[in-house]
Amino acid sequence: MVKFVLDPRLEADCIRLGELELSLVLLMNNSLVPWFILVPKVEENEICLLTAEQQNTLYKEINILSEFVCDSFETDKLNIGTIGNIVNQLHVHVVGRRKDDYCWPGVVWGEKEKRPYSASEIENIRILASSIMANGKK
């Protein structure tokens, strides 16, 4: 198996928070919305190309991240998507949306506006997210 390397674009745009069983957990460096990304450590670029076991694990991880976003941030709706038109490496967005956020009711994908996190904001999210990393390792 080839060593897994995170796509450089994701590496540049996001902060690594940790790992679950199958996926890296990233935070998009845009504090305008709580925007997380799962990157399963696989070579395939579509969910339907994963094995049943990988899919089950990925879907479990989407649930973990979904519940984390709903519990940790004020959200009216989750936006979950796997797109990959620009970054081909399989990745799943889990975004908490609010009816008064910067681009509601539009989608965040393709929106140019962003506001990078401060170091202390990142640290706070890292602490919050540490609980799911532990769960994910169970």
Closest alpha carbon to 130 in 64, 74, 80: 64
Q: Which of residues 63, 118, 124, 131 is near a second copy by CB under 8 A?
A: 63
Q: For residues 22 and 61, is the Cβ–Cβ distance under 8 A?
A: yes
Give min distance, CB of 119 to a second copy, in A.
30
| Number of Cβ within a 10 Å radius of residue 123 | 11
* Structure token digits, residue 37: 């990304």
Q: For residues 102 and 32, is the Cβ–Cβ distance under 8 A?
A: yes
Q: Which of residues 11, 43, 44, 67 is near a second copy by CB under 8 A?
A: 67
| 45 binding a second copy? (CB under 8 A) | yes
Give min distance, CB of 120 to a second copy, in A.
29
Residues forming contacts to a second copy in the complex (CB under 8 A) are: 45-48, 55, 59, 62-63, 66-67, 70, 77-86, 88, 97, 104-107, 109-110
